């Protein structure tokens, strides 16, 4: 099944595309030095792209990335100010690219990586690829295109590490700083919404755990009760038939008895009391001295 296929890379070797499983490629890459000469490519990139189109039609599973040799890109390496914030790396790469290529910004894409032997002497390697070639890769369904030199300089040992330390070929956007700030704001907003939602869920669970499942004793005025407490429901239904001359001040209903505190006409209450159903708990009555 295609979705279970191992991720692989396409690398240009000996005038043809060669496929490497990511793990195998990075294992072999760690045995090489950064300064080792990469295999040369005698085939023009236009011909290589035609060969790639045929190869992709023959294989249903696309590579996670394509790595390009040095001869297909324009590149340069320069020292970087140690105080330069990471957010300005792309701007520095764009500035240096203008010294590397004669093509306008709209006609090329950038890939770069920052390396350093120590914190005080960082350097940036910038590779420039013409946008028309990058667009062809996109049309073929390849969205991750790297300079192989960038991969070599990263000293990465896995594909995940590459994604975190280097940048594939992409067009330079003048408003990238604003877009980056907006993206951070959206992330913070999403995190706040998630936190509020989790707090609400947590609070609901706490309240649910602290709420008793049912009320064993019923008191007037009564809270909500379960329908399984027939003695309570039956007693309440019967209490609704009290004479208008009798006021119910308090009621307590249990399985064993129904205790009432009433005010009003005792004779009318006694007449009503005689009709109390036997299926209900017996009545226990306290008469208030307060006049109705």
Instruction: List the CATH code of the domain at 2-174.
Output: 3.30.420
Choose between 230 and 41: higher pLDDT. 230
Residues of the chain above pLDDT 70, percent: 80
Where in the chain are the domains? 2-174, 218-287
Neighbouring residues of 224: CB distance < 8 A, sequence distance ≥ 6? none
Q: At what angle do helices 131-139 and 45-58 cross, to 10 degrees?
A: 10
pLDDT band, residue 176 (cuts 50/70/90): low
Would the pLDDT of 35 be above 80?
no
| 249-265 mean pLDDT | 86
For residue 52, the model assigns a pLDDT of 92
Distance CA 153, CA 79 (A): 14
Whole-number pLDDT of residue 83: 81
| Residue 3, pLDDT score | 40
Cα Rg of the chain, angstroms: 40
Average pLDDT, the chain: 79
Residue 178 pLDDT grade (very low, low, confident, very high; cuts 50, 70, 90): low
pLDDT in tens, 148-174: 888 888 877 777 777 767 788 888 776
> Binning pLDDT at 50, 70 and 90, where does residue 31 land?
low
Q: CB–CB of 8/22 below 8 Å?
A: yes
Give the pLDDT of residue 1.
34
Instruction: Return the ∠ at Cα 36 (arms to 32 and 38), rounded to 5°.
Output: 100
225 and 218 Cβ atoms separated by less than 8 Å: yes
Question: From the centroid of its chain, how far is CA 219?
Answer: 49
Cα–Cα distance, 68 to 145 (Å, whole number) = 7
The rounded distance, in Å, linking the Cα atoms of 109 and 105 is: 8
Between CA 291 and CA 140 the distance in angstroms is 95
């Amino acid at each position: 099944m295609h979705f279970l296929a191992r991720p692989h890379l396409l690398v240009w070797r000996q005038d043809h595309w060669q496929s490497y499983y990511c793990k195998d490629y990075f294992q072999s890459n760690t045995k090489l030095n950064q300064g080792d000469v990469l295999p040369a490519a005698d085939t023009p990139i236009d011909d290589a792209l035609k060969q790639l189109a045929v190869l992709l039609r023959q294989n249903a599973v696309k590579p996670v990335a394509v790595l390009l040799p040095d001869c297909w890109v324009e590149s340069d390496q320069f020292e970087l100010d140690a105080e330069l914030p990471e957010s300005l790396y792309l701007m520095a790469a764009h500035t240096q690219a203008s010294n590397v290529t004669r093509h306008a910004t709209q006609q090329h894409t950038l890939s770069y990586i920052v390396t350093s032997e120590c914190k005080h002497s960082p350097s940036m390697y910038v590779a420039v690829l013409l946008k028309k070639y990058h667009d062809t890769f996109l049309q073929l369904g390849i969205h991750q295109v790297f300079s192989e030199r960038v991969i070599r300089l990263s000293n990465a040992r896995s594909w995940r590490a590459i994604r975190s330390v280097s940048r594939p070929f992409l067009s330079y956007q003048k408003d990238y700083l604003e877009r980056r700030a907006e993206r951070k704001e959206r992330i913070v907003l999403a995190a706040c919404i998630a936190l509020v939602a989790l707090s609400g869920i947590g609070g609901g669970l706490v309240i649910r755990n602290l709420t008793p499942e049912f009320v064993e004793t019923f008191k007037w005025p009564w809270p909500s009760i379960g329908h399984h407490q027939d003695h309570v429901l039956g007693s309440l239904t019967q209490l609704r038939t009290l004479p208008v001359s009798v006021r119910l001040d308090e009621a307590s209903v249990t399985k064993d008895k129904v205790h009432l505190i009433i005010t009003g006409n005792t004779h009318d209450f006694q007449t009503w009391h005689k009709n109390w159903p036997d299926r209900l708990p017996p009545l226990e009555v306290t008469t208030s001295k307060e006049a109705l």
